[in-house]
């Protein structure tokens, strides 16, 4: 929001939401800063798994299976988030290579990272999928082993009833990269996990909590970051007033994720034509219509500034009007 | 069959059927010979993918996507079977690493085996899953890309209609190894492939031909090998008479695969208690009852020999009876 009272050195506070992840927020911020030539800080970045930090309150010292991402990166991110007792599917296979024999090079030959635990005696208390799986087969096997087992270990007797909670950070079925056709996103792993769970348990229910756009939790987390940015710049800000009066604008290219989520959060949604949305002039997305459709993110920024200037004039006029009223 | 007329040096001709694979028949034969201390030849081995050799008649020079197995082993097996134009999902990712970015180490850094083709211009004419996938994610992505694309290339426009035939060698959902719980078999990949196909195409039909036990094709192939073993030993054998008169006995531990398939093929089925089947004395499998249930493979062999001796006596008696009849 542009507002004379919330100066912030005339900068509009902003955060960047992505369903990407697998790297710490600091690293993503540095990448984006370099790409855009604008300094972006870690506390302006909302990755798919960023709001999973709040789970660290409950799971700080509980044994958590962290799934997805390259090597041990997501386990490291989880530790930074405050999870102090983290294992990965790779740790399990390093402990007992026969748990997943379909690795090339063979299981056990390159898995030096096991922490020496006997996983038979270390039940898990939650499974958290932080990022895209780098080995669907291994991760489906280990996750279903834990979720099916009576005692939530990797080799416990199968009860075919979900043993512990499952959290997953991003349900996008596909995403776009350099390849001419969309690639599988983390949602593809979810599809396979649900299908394997059904096949193995004969259709037992599987419950899970989703993070990432368009889930509400992602927008609540972003609002907290926005509030903090304003508080950091103007410590005297009345946070209660801020929460009731602020206007948040969302710019995005993906109606099903960006616009659906922004609309659900009560933000003003602006859809750009530079990405997923392929509608022509005058068109809007039918399933998730945006408040405004523009060609480019720059048009969105201009529209936001104009809207805010109108609001500021209206606010000023109503203040003048209320001042002139006798009490 | 034990039969005075089919001497074979008094050896009962036998073949070994397994839903395993991913190695050439020669290698499996050598492994088993060493394990058992009995010489077993490659032409006594029926792996899950062995009967796929017959597809080489049709696909000898057609471009085939061979999926599954360690490294390039299944591509090499396919070439030995007579497929002269084979690529693997790994070749595709080596050609364009962005096709599957979720590899560790990163796609492209360890993929030296691409054959230099431009896969945009090399449509496939069949997909053949030879063995367990060593990278479910990559193999699901590349196989669905090819099957969904209008021209059966890896980066063609999606038509969401199956482009080319799909053959898969083994639909076992799980199998047993050293691990205390059953591990995913190739059937797990099938479950994920069907689920991803559904999710991506909105439920378009997906057709495929299955090999491996308990499919009929596996038993027809085994009968051909048995016939050939007899012909090799006794070249004068009347093959037509052999086919109508032979008795084939199957010994197996898995009712759903071994016994179901043997019953379907008209063989005499014998279930042993040393594996999957866990029924006690007197019990038989309810879904796929065997002709005989015994404790151990040695009991099965004894029972077969006794049965055959009875048959031989009966045959001899009936021959004597027919000889004594006046014409």
Interface of B with A (CB under 8 A): 70-71, 96, 98-104, 106, 132-137, 140-141, 145, 149, 155, 158, 173-174, 177-181, 183-184, 188-189, 191-192, 194-196, 199-200
**How far, in Å, CA of A86 to CA of A63, rounded?**
6
Q: Which CATH class is domain A8-19+215-319?
A: alpha beta
Quick one: pLDDT at residue A83?
Answer: 98
Instruction: Convert the pLDDT of each residue in A240-253 to its tens digit.
Output: 998 888 899 999 99
Measured in angstroms, the CA of A202 and the nearest CA of chain B are apart by 12
B169 neighbors B186 (Cβ within 8 angstroms)? yes
Measured in angstroms, the CA of B137 and the nearest CA of chain A are apart by 5
Residue-wise over A20-41: b if at least 16 C-beta within 10 A, else e? bbbbbbeebbbebeeeeeeebe
Which residue would you say has higher pLDDT here, A12 or B176? B176
**How far, in Å, CA of A153 to CA of A148, rounded?**
9
Question: Please, which pLDDT band fits residue A8 given cuts at 50, 70 and 90?
Answer: very low
**Partner residue opposite B135 with nearest CB, options A98, A135, A199:** A135
Question: Please, which pLDDT band fits residue A46 given cuts at 50, 70 and 90?
Answer: very high
Structure tokens belonging to residue A125: 């208390």
Quick one: pLDDT at residue B107?
Answer: 65
Quick one: pLDDT at residue A105?
Answer: 74
Q: Per 3-state DSSP, what percentage of chain B is helix, strand, and coil (rounded to 5)?
A: 45, 10, 45
What is the ipTM score, two decimals?
0.90
With CA atoms as reference, the chain B residue closest to A193 would be: B192
Q: Which residue has the tokens 């197996």?
A: B252
The edge-to-edge listing of strands for the beta sheet with B209-210 is B86-87, B64-67, B126-129, B166-168, B209-210
**How far, in Å, CA of A179 to CA of B254, rounded?**
44
Domain B8-19+213-324 CATH assignment equals 3.40.50.1000: yes
With CA atoms as reference, the chain A residue closest to B99 would be: A179
- Domains in chain A: boundaries: 8-19+215-319, 50-210
Contact A140 B184 (CB under 8 A): yes
A133 neighbors A88 (Cβ within 8 angstroms)? no
Contact A188 B100 (CB under 8 A): no
Instruction: Convert the pLDDT of each residue in A110-143 to its tens digit.
Output: 555 556 899 999 999 999 999 999 999 999 999 9
Phi-psi region for residue A63, left (φ > 0), alpha (ψ -120 to 50) or beta? beta
Structure tokens belonging to residue B249: 């006995």
* DSSP per position, A34-79: HHHTS---GGGEE-TTGGGGGGHHHHTTS-EEEE-SSTTHHHHHHH
With CA atoms as reference, the chain A residue closest to B98 would be: A179
Quick one: pLDDT at residue A322?
Answer: 56
* Chain B residues near residue A102 by CB distance under 8 angstroms: 132-134
Quick one: pLDDT at residue A321?
Answer: 62
The edge-to-edge listing of strands for the beta sheet with A268-272 is A249-252, A268-272, A292-294
Q: Which residue has the tokens 């009966």?
A: B314
Query: What SS3 state is found at B200?
Result: helix
Which residue would you say has higher pLDDT here, A41 or A5? A41
Contact A155 B104 (CB under 8 A): no
**How far, in Å, CA of A142 to CA of A195, rounded?**
15
Q: CA A261, A266, A269: angle at the middle one, nearest 5? A: 60
* Chain A residues near residue B70 by CB distance under 8 angstroms: 104, 106
Residues of chain B with pLDDT under 50: 1-9, 324-327
Fold of B58-79+87-210: Rossmann fold (3.40.50)
Quick one: pLDDT at residue A308?
Answer: 87
**How far, in Å, CA of B62 to CA of B130, rounded?**
17
| CATH superfamily ID and name for A50-210 | HAD superfamily/HAD-like (3.40.50.1000)
Which residue would you say has higher pLDDT here, B44 or A106? B44
DSSP A259: I
User: Which contiguous run of DSSP H or E holds residue B176?
Assistant: none
Contact A189 B158 (CB under 8 A): no
B58-79+87-210: same fold as B8-19+213-324?
Answer: yes
CA distances from A252 to A211, A248, A249, A297, B72 (A): 18, 13, 10, 8, 43
pLDDT over 90 percentage in chain B: 79
Substitution target from A137, A171, A178 for chain B, most B beta carbons within 10 A: A137
Structure tokens belonging to residue B92: 């595709």
CA distances from B305 to A50, A63, B247, B312 (A): 69, 57, 12, 10
Quick one: pLDDT at residue A100?
Answer: 97
Query: What SS3 state is found at A293?
Result: strand
Instruction: Convert the pLDDT of each residue in A193-240 to its tens digit.
Output: 999 999 999 999 999 999 999 999 999 999 999 999 999 988 999 989
Contact B133 A103 (CB under 8 A): no
Quick one: pLDDT at residue B50?
Answer: 98
């Amino acid at each position: 929001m542009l507002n004379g009272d919330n100066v912030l050195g005339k900068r509009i506070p902003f955060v960047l939401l992505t369903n990407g992840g697998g790297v710490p927020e600091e690293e993503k911020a540095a990448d984006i800063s370099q790409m855009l030539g604008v300094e972006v800080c870690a506390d302006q970045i909302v990755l798919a798994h960023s709001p999973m930090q709040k789970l660290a309150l409950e799971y700080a010292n509980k044994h958590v299976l962290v799934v997805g991402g390259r090597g041990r990166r997501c386990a490291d991110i989880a530790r930074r988030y405050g999870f102090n007792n983290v294992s990965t599917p790779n740790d399990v296979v390093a402990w007992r290579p026969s748990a997943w024999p379909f690795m090339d090079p063979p299981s056990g030959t390159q898995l030096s990272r096991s922490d020496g635990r006997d996983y038979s005696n270390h039940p898990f208390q939650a499974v958290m999928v932080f990022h895209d799986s780098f080995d669907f087969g291994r991760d489906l096997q280990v996750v279903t082993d834990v979720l099916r087992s009576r005692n939530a270990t990797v080799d416990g007797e199968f009860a075919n009833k979900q043993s512990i909670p499952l959290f997953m950070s991003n349900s996008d079925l596909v995403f776009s990269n350099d390849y001419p056709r969309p690639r599988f996103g983390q949602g593809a792993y979810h599809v396979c996990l649900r299908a394997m769970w059904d096949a193995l348990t004969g259709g037992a229910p599987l419950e899970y909590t989703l993070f990432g756009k368009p889930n509400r939790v992602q927008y609540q987390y972003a609002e907290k970051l926005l509030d903090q940015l304003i508080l950091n710049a103007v410590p005297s800000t009345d946070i209660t007033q801020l929460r009731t009066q602020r206007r948040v604008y969302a710019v995005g290219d993906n109606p099903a994720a960006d616009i659906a989520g922004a609309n659900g959060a009560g933000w003003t949604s602006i859809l750009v034509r530079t990405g997923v949305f392929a509608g022509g002039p005058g068109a809007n997305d039918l399933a998730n219509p945006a408040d405004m459709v523009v060609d480019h993110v720059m048009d969105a920024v201009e529209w936001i500034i104009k809207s805010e200037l109108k609001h500021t004039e209206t606010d000023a006029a109503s203040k003048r009007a209320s001042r002139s009223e006798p009490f």
